[in-house]
Amino acid sequence: MEEGKLRELKQFIEICKSNPSLLHNPSLSFFKTYLLSLGARIPPQPKTEPGDFDDKSDPPLSAQNDIVESDIELDNADVVEPDNDPPQKMGDPSAEITEEQRDAAQLAKSKAVDAMSQGNLDEALAQLTEAILLNPQSAILYATRASIYMKLKKPNAAIRDADTALKINPDSAKGYKIRGMSRAMLGLWEEAASDFHVASKLDYDEEISMALKKVEPNALKIEEHRRKYERLRKQKQQKRAPIKTEAPIKKEQETEAQVQAALSALKDGQVMGIHSSGELEKKLSAASKTSRLAILYFTATWCGPCRFISPIYTSLAEKYPKVVFLKVDIDEARDVAAGWNISSVPTFFFVKNGKEVDSVVGADKSTLESKIAQHAGSL
């Protein structure tokens, strides 16, 4: 890491030490989630007084977040204390796996399933860990071990396994489902709801539906409260701002509303599946309104190079959260593939302000990332 960025990081950590309530700010939710996944304990949010909005100046950053979350009545009945165990053993995903290792891993998994059926979760955990070390390229092994950690009330360990499962297989419904349940155990309601929505689209089941019904009310309360604060904050800014004529104000409000609507259609750090031309138009329009680079990835389930590049594409989405990552299965969305004249997969198109600016054909990891950095950096 560059020396300048290291200095900035040290300064940021010192600020967090002096004022830990900063970690409750919504914009730092990714950092808070990461700390919790390592077993860290985050100090509770300080409460704010009801009259905070009447102050002449904006409340400090921590107080702003308190207004958003601390006075919401949430159902926290099933929230548990974060587990602080050292990270569990993970296999080497780059290792070459022999047939003998795959067979041995399958045998260990069978023993784990038997142990689970008998209620012996510790034995099941040991057998699955052995299976993972034998075959660290199996998403289902990580997802299954995550489900055991969740039953043992160890949500951070479960999230680590679910994250690994999703890196191996971005379409793992079980990975999203278990991660959503684990996040709910930590009170990460918005993140949990997002996982359940993805899981239900990939492979709907009644358990996901029931979990979503419990999580979503909390997530919606937080979202609505955040909007309420944002409206109040803007009202205060407008009072202090120079008086404007009605027409420019109305235009600004309309533009802001369009940007917010566009942002709500996008998911930072995630790959979004496209199933129709209409859906693609909406995503590209949202990307254009928010001045974001959009990448359109055409793939197919039968394509070997696609299976290689898909997890890399997912990891790039996490690395570049302000870039819009789209994914199209050419056999599922034939109209989209025809509209873009797809003749081979994988194919990637780079779109800025509604216009194609570049493309990559084939599973070339280095070229793909270099073009993402090039076009995202020029926005």
Active site residues: 303, 306
In this structure, the number of other CB atoms found within 10 A of the CB of residue 96 comes to 7
Q: How far apart are CA 323 and CA 317, in angstroms?
A: 7
| Angle formed by the axes of helices 173-185 and 189-203, nearest 10° | 160
Amino acid code (one letter) for 72: I
> 314: number of CA atoms within 13 Å, CB side?
16
What one-character-per-residue DSSP string does 109-156 give? HHHHHHHHHTT-HHHHHHHHHHHHHH-TT-HHHHHHHHHHHHHTT-HH
Q: How far apart are CA 340 and CA 353, in angstroms?
A: 17
In this structure, the number of other CB atoms found within 10 A of the CB of residue 219 comes to 21
> How many residues can be counted in the chain?
379
Q: How far apart are CA 130 and CA 89, in angstroms?
A: 9
Cα end-to-end distance, the chain, whole Å: 23
The 8-class DSSP code of residue 245 comes to: -
The alpha carbon torsion through 367, 370, 376, 379 (nearest 10 deg) reads: -110
Cα three-residue angle 163-208-143, rounded to 5 degrees: 30
Amino acid code (one letter) for 234: K
Cross-strand bridge partners of residue 359: 349
Q: How far apart are CA 128 and CA 137, in angstroms?
A: 13
What one-character-per-residue DSSP string does 17-49 give? HH-GGGGGSGGGHHHHHHHHHTT--PPPPPP--
